[in-house]
Every structure is written in C-alpha cells, then in structure tokens.
Amino acid sequence: MNSRPVFFRNSRNRRKAASAPSMRPKALSGSIAKYSRGLALSVLSGSAALLAVSALLSMQSAQAANIILYDGDTSTVWNAGGNWTGGIAPTNDLTTDIAKFDLATYAFQPTATSNGNINGIIMGASSGAITITTSLTTSRLNIGTGGIVMDAGTGTLTIGTAATQGVTLGASQSWTNNSSSLLTVSSVANDANVTPFTLTLDGSGSGGTTISNIITNGGATGTTALIVNMSGTGVVTLSGANTLTGGIALNQGTLVATVIGAFGTSANTLTFGGGNLDLRAATNAAVTYTGALNLNSTNQTISVNTAAATDGLTHLISGALTLGTQTTTVSAGSNINTNTNYGLTLSGAKTFAVSGPEQN
C-alpha cells in the first residue's frame, strides 16, 4: 500500500491526528417459571423447538489506512479536494483512506458520491455535528474494515437522511461510539452477493446507535449479522422491518426494538448472550414481533415497554423459541404506568406467557 501523509492546511487543523481504529421483575428459568408478587405464568404448549442459530463471523482486522481530514471549506462535494486538508480527497476505495472529522464547525456538510467508498470514518473529540448524505437518495456510502469510531467529546454523526441512504458494508466491521452523542444510520446493507459480513456495535459512551430503517442481506449467501456489545450506557435502537438472516447477538448493553420486524423475519434469530432487550413499541400499542428468539445462554432481561407513558400492555414474540436453564427476567419498562397490567408472550413450539400488575 502506498504511504500517504496526513495534511494540515490551516491553523484550525493544527492538532495531532488520531491513529486509525484497531478497530420492577418476573422471572422464568428454563421450562419452569419463577415469578414474584403474584404474577401468573402459564405453559401453553409442548416440546422445545430445535433452532439452527446462524454462526457469526469474526471481524476482519482493519488494514492500515491513511487519515484524511475534512474541513468542508469549499462545497458539499465529498470528492472535491478543496474540502480536505492538503487539497486531496480520500481515495475512492475500501482500503486506502479513513475520513476524519475534527473541527467544531463546518461551512459545508459532505455529500458523498453515490455508492462511493471509504475504509472508515473517525469523529474526533473536537468535531461538531456531521451529516453525510449521498448524491442519490437510493444509494449508500460503502465502508470497509475501518468502520466508524466516535471519540469521547465528539458531536453527532448522521449517515443518510432518506430511508434508502445509509451504509453499505464493504467488509465485516465495528461501529464504536465512545461519546455522549448519537450515531444515526438510515439503513444498512451487505454489498457482497456471496460473502457474509458481520456488523458489531460497541462503545463505552452514552450516545448509542440508531439504525432507523432496514438492515438487509446482500444476497442468498451474502448475509448480514449484527452483534450488540455496548459496554457504556448508550443503547442500540432498531427501527426498521429488517430482513437480515445472519442473526442478531445481544451480548452486552440494551437493544431497543420499536417495530414488528426489528429482529428480522422468522428466518432470523435473536440470541441472548446477556444484556437487556427493550420492547419499546413506537405505536404505544401491543406489538407482535417477528423473528426467532434463543434464550439458551446466560441470564437476561426483557422489558415490556412503549415509546411514551401508557397503561400496561402485552407484547408477543411470534418466532420459534429456544429455552435453557438460564433465568429470564421480564419487567415493566420505564414508560409503563405503575400498577397497570403488562405482559409478554413468547411463542413457538414451546410457548410461555407472563402477565400481571406491576407492584411497588
């Protein structure tokens, strides 16, 4: 790989460039329910379902890449050299350059070439808010192994404003949010027709990550898998009717599901490795979530919730259900009014329903 320097064009950019990224309760335990405060559990049907959980591929390590600083002095055009320190725009491929944003303000927000390419994106600690769009509303920005890194102190990052904009995965990668600012991506797709890619969402910050529209595969074998591994208080919110089939693994942190298809279709499985699943229905009404659910792992928590304060309701997860010997705690979410009924039904070859009034 050819070596390219990091340029500094004026005094406001004279800072060291960061290095590229290394990249209230009820419980049911296995097939027997444990519950408190008079909450009822009923076993509605027979034998356990056999699920084939999709294997999640490990991340590819990020290749060394040059960091090019954006100053947005000239125009909204991503590939205009005048918008980048040193007068050279990042190379339009998935390996050579990482785009870094590290100024408090920008005269112009960037519009990337439709289906343009970049190894990764860094939001530096000094950066103000950035919104990246593409020149067509039906195209996305392709990102390679560098993924996305948001440093503590940075502003918000939004990629895509139309439902079909956002990010296309050019490789398995991580999006790491160590800040108190939100990362919002409109939609996510796998660029390859045959290669499975894995997207890992992590970070130690409170800002969290929202994918506001669909997460989809790239083809029959080019599946997309999602891993949630947030060590900070920031939550991951899925708000699209997702069609990915590579699986979702919730290992750490809170995953918020606001719509019916947040887990994907019945062909996709949400597997718990820990953390909290927050069923926060955007409609403030009971929701039937599609997708299979695998609880055969460590202890976990599921919150029955809504987007705004309301009396209790019962959500349903309709896909195949796998249970083990762990304890699953079902609780009222933060927006369920005190002392109102709420519940959760888990359905499949083995079905459980948990319901009852919230007690103080």
Q: What is the pLDDT of residues 120-166, one digit of tens each?
A: 999 999 999 999 999 998 899 999 999 999 999 999 999 999 999 99
Each residue's pLDDT tens digit, 277-306:
999 988 888 889 999 999 877 778 898 988
**Pairwise CA distance, residues 90 & 66, whole Å:** 9
Q: What is the pLDDT of residue 51?
A: 22
More confident residue, 74 or 219: 74
Q: How many CB atoms lie within 10 A of CB 63?
A: 16
Is there a contact between 103 and 71 (Cβ–Cβ < 8 Å)?
yes
Residue 15 pLDDT > 50? no
More confident residue, 201 or 17: 201
User: Where residue 351 falls among pLDDT bands split at 50, 70, 90?
Assistant: low
User: Where residue 333 falls among pLDDT bands split at 50, 70, 90?
Assistant: confident
Ranking 72-76, 151-155, 199-203, 309-313 by mean pLDDT, the lowest is 309-313
**Pairwise CA distance, residues 227 & 235, whole Å:** 13
Is there a contact between 189 and 218 (Cβ–Cβ < 8 Å)?
yes
Each residue's pLDDT tens digit, 73-91:
999 999 999 999 999 999 9
For the sheet containing 314-317, what is the strand order?
40-43, 352-357, 341-346, 314-317, 288-289
Identify the H or E element spanning 215. Answer: strand 215-216
Here the tokens at position 290 are 């599609």
Here the tokens at position 135 are 């020149």
pTM for the structure as a whole: 0.82
Quick one: 22 exposed, middle or buried, by C-beta within 10 A (0-12, 13-18, 19+)? exposed
